[in-house]
Amino acid sequence: MTIPPPPLKPWEGGFELHETFNMVSLLLERHLGPERGRSVAIITPREKITYGRLGRLTNRVGNLLLELGLGPGERIILLLHDSPWFVAAFLGAMKIGAVPVPCNVMATPRDWAYFINDSRAKAVIVEDELQPKLAQVLPQCPLLSRILIKDSTRPEGLDLQERAARASDRLDPAPTRAQDHSYWLYTSGTTGQPKGVIHLHRDLVYAVETWGRHVVDFQPHDRVYCVSRLFFSYGLNNGLYLPLYFGGQVILSPERPLPETVVRIVETNSPTLLFSVPTSYGQILNHLEDSPTNPDFSSLRACVSAGEALPASLSRRWKDRFGLEILDGLGSSEVGFIYICNLPGKAKPNSSGVLLPGYEARLLDDDGRELPRGEVGHLWVRSPTLAAGYWNKPEQTKAAFVGGWMRTGDRCCQDEDGFFFYFGRSDDALKVSGIWVSPLEVEAVLLEHPDVAEAAVVGHRDRMGLVKPKAFVTLMPGREPGEKLTAELQNLVKTRLAPYKYPRWIEYLAELPKTATGKIQRYKLRQDSNPSGAR
Examine the fold and report which residue of 169, 201, 233 is the final residue of a domain before the chain moves on. 201
pLDDT tens digit sequence for 259-268: 999 999 999 9
Is residue 520 domain-resident? yes
Compute how many other C-beta atoms are within 10 angstroms of the C-beta atom of residue 294. 12
Confidence of residue 4 (pLDDT cuts 50, 70, 90): very low
Among 159, 199, 160, smallest CA distance to 181 is for 199
Q: Tell me how far CA of residue 196 lies from CA of 91, 103, 187, 391, 405, in angstroms.
A: 19, 10, 7, 5, 18
Among 382, 385, 277, smallest CA distance to 336 is for 385
Q: Which amino acid is at 405?
A: W
Strands 389-391 and 377-382 turn out to be unpaired
Examine the fold and report which residue of 201, 236, 270 is the final residue of a domain before the chain moves on. 201
User: Taking a C-beta distance cutoff of 8 angstroms, is the pair 444, 313 a contact?
Assistant: yes
Examine the fold and report which residue of 201, 223, 251 is the final residue of a domain before the chain moves on. 201
Counting residues of the chain whose pLDDT is more than 70, the rounded percentage is 94
Is residue 11 domain-resident? no
pLDDT tens digit sequence for 308-352: 888 888 999 999 999 999 999 999 999 999 999 999 999 999 999
As a whole number, mean pLDDT of residues 366-372 equals 93
Among 361, 333, 330, 515, smallest CA distance to 424 is for 330
What CATH code is carried by the domain that includes residue 132? Answer: 3.40.50.980
Instruction: Give the span between the Cα atoms of 160 and 130, in whole angstroms.
Output: 14
Is residue 147 domain-resident? yes
Q: What is the pLDDT of residue 473?
A: 97
Choose the weakest-confidence range: 14-23, 231-240, 317-326, 454-463: 14-23
Q: What is the pLDDT of residue 528?
A: 66
- Judge whether residue 71 has pLDDT over 90: yes
Is residue 354 domain-resident? no
Is residue 3 domain-resident? no
Beta bridge partners of 390: 197
Mean pLDDT rounded to a whole number for the chain: 91
Choose the weakest-confidence range: 104-118, 187-201, 366-380: 187-201
Q: Tell me how far CA of residue 424 lies from CA of 145, 287, 409, in angstroms.
A: 42, 27, 9
Is residue 403 domain-resident? no
Collect all residues with Cβ–Cβ distance below 8 Å to 314 and sequence separation of at least 6: 278, 281, 282, 285, 326, 447
Instruction: Give the span between the Cα atoms of 227 and 274, in whole angstroms.
Output: 8
- Judge whether residue 214 has pLDDT over 90: yes
As a whole number, mean pLDDT of residues 371-395 equals 95
Q: What is the pLDDT of residue 429?
A: 75
pLDDT tens digit sequence for 454-501: 999 998 988 767 789 999 999 999 999 999 999 999 999 999 888 889
Q: Tell me how far CA of residue 292 lies from CA of 289, 365, 415, 475, in angstroms.
A: 8, 50, 40, 21
**What is the side-by-side strand order in the sheet with 123-127?**
99-102, 75-79, 123-127, 146-150, 158-159
Q: What is the pLDDT of residue 11?
A: 36
Instruction: Give the span between the Cα atoms of 535 and 404, in whole angstroms.
Output: 32
Is residue 97 domain-resident? yes
What CATH code is carried by the domain that includes residue 475? Answer: 3.30.300.30
Number of domains making up the chain: 2
Is residue 482 domain-resident? yes
- Judge whether residue 2 has pLDDT over 50: no
Confidence of residue 5 (pLDDT cuts 50, 70, 90): very low
- Judge whether residue 418 has pLDDT over 90: yes
Q: What is the pLDDT of residue 308?
A: 80
Structural domain of 525: 430-529
Beta bridge partners of 274: 225, 303
Beta bridge partners of 43: 48, 251
pTM recorded for the entire structure? 0.85
